[in-house]
Amino acid sequence: MLNRDTKPVGTFDSFEQLFQRAEERTGYWVELAKLEFTEEMLARMKERGVKKGQLAALLGVRPALVTRLVSGHNNFTIETMVRVARALDCEFRCHLQPAGAKACWIDVLKREPQRAASGWTPGQFRTIQTIRPDFDHESIPAAA
């Protein structure tokens, strides 16, 4: 296998060994970050019913740019990520996570969403599974 400089990277006995080596390289983490952002963008577009052409209009760009954004073959700038987030009625957040740690993102609504008068009551539904984070943390005082 050759790297970008066409220098031999090495031989591997397993995919596990290949991925361990890949995780040592910055390029792996860059591509993973782009993939994660692209997946979140596509999920939000689906949730809001926004097509690629509509997102292009919201961003004030040509549809070809949005096609490139959703393809995963794009080097996102923070400005582009913020513009996409705002166009999809979101806020962009970035997070530095200590190596080996797990992150748990929870979106908390400022107020309860408005419910349409549909005739159903919460008692008609049952809890399937309650998810509780499996991590311990200590409170950190926030500046006012």
Is the model's pLDDT at 65 over the cut of 80? yes
Question: Tell me: the pLDDT tens digits for 2-53?
Answer: 555 454 556 777 878 877 787 778 888 888 899 999 999 999 999 999 999 9
Q: In this predicted structure, what is the pLDDT of residue 123?
A: 72
Q: In this predicted structure, what is the pLDDT of residue 72?
A: 76
- Please say whether the beta carbons of 23 and 37 come within 8 A: no
Q: Which domains does the chain have, with CATH numbers?
A: 15-97 (1.10.260.40)
Question: Tell me: the pLDDT tens digits for 92-135?
Answer: 998 888 988 888 888 777 777 666 666 677 777 776 766 666 66
